[in-house]
Amino acid sequence: MSAKSAISKEVFAPQDEKMQAAALVKRRTKKKIPFLATGGQGNYSTYICLSATNKKPKQLYITKVKQFEGSNSFVGRSRWTVEQLRQVDGHDPDKDCPEFTLVFDSGSDQWLAGSATEKNMFIQVLHHSCQRHCTDRKPDFINCPSKLLGGSRVLQSATESVGSAVQMASEALSERGERLTRTEEKTEELMNSAQQFADTAQKLAMKYKN
């Protein structure tokens, strides 16, 4: 089982939530790690996770999940609602980079994701979820590549393409209908001509018979 699958099962499933996205991160500026109660150094891995409640209306949460060295389990730590998230800073709108900052009401966290791809996926899912489920208050997304925030534009483009295809199909059917109508008219004319010819032939045959 992957780390993210384990996090979803251990941390969020018991709370009747579904994990939407997660990114393995570390702080951009090293922070002193306190000693644990056992006296050992508190080394751990950190994941920033987005989850949504299964019940409607859906509530979105951002949770800091940790896995301590020597342990196979994951533990949820700091937790915020998305309404407490003020800003998502992608640090560079022109190129992919692993850095990003989350600004909450109570402060901010500067993170370095495991890769630019992992960071981009997290921001993209977060933006899409906010647009879909947040009605009163949405965070600002700044310095993020436009491709990450273009879901609505992509949908609009796809809708326009479908509409154009439907219009073209309609026009093609209309033209085909007109051709069929013309064919039917010509067929009817030929049938009438044939009937007239048959009638004339029959009259001539009767005349010469008599």
Q: Tell me yes or no: is domain 3-149 CATH 2.30.29.90.
A: yes
pLDDT at 153: 45
Q: How many CB atoms lie within 10 A of CB 27?
A: 11
pTM, 2 dp: 0.67
Q: Could you tell me the mean pLDDT of each successive run of 10 residues in the chain, 210 residues long? A: 93 96 88 48 88 94 95 94 96 94 94 96 96 90 92 45 56 66 71 72 67
pLDDT at 209: 62
Angle subtended at Cα 75 by Cα 69 and Cα 78, rounded to the nearest 5 degrees: 115
pLDDT at 19: 97
Could you give the CA distance from residue 21 to residue 154 in angstroms, rounded to a whole number?
A: 21
> Do the beta carbons of residue 129 and residue 85 sit within 8 Å?
no
pLDDT at 105: 94
Query: Which amino acid, residue 114?
Result: G
Nearest to 103, CA basis, from 135, 65, 62: 62
pLDDT at 40: 46
Domains of the chain, by residue range, sit at 3-149, 152-200
pLDDT at 200: 74
Could you give the CA distance from residue 93 to residue 101 in angstroms, rounded to a whole number?
A: 13
pLDDT at 48: 97
Three state DSSP letters for 71-110: CCCCEEEEEEEHHHEEEEECCCCCCCCCEEEEEECCEEEE
Give 134: exposed, middle or buried? Use CB within 10 Å, 0-12, 13-18, 19+: middle
For CA atoms 85, 89, 93, 96, the dihedral sign is: negative
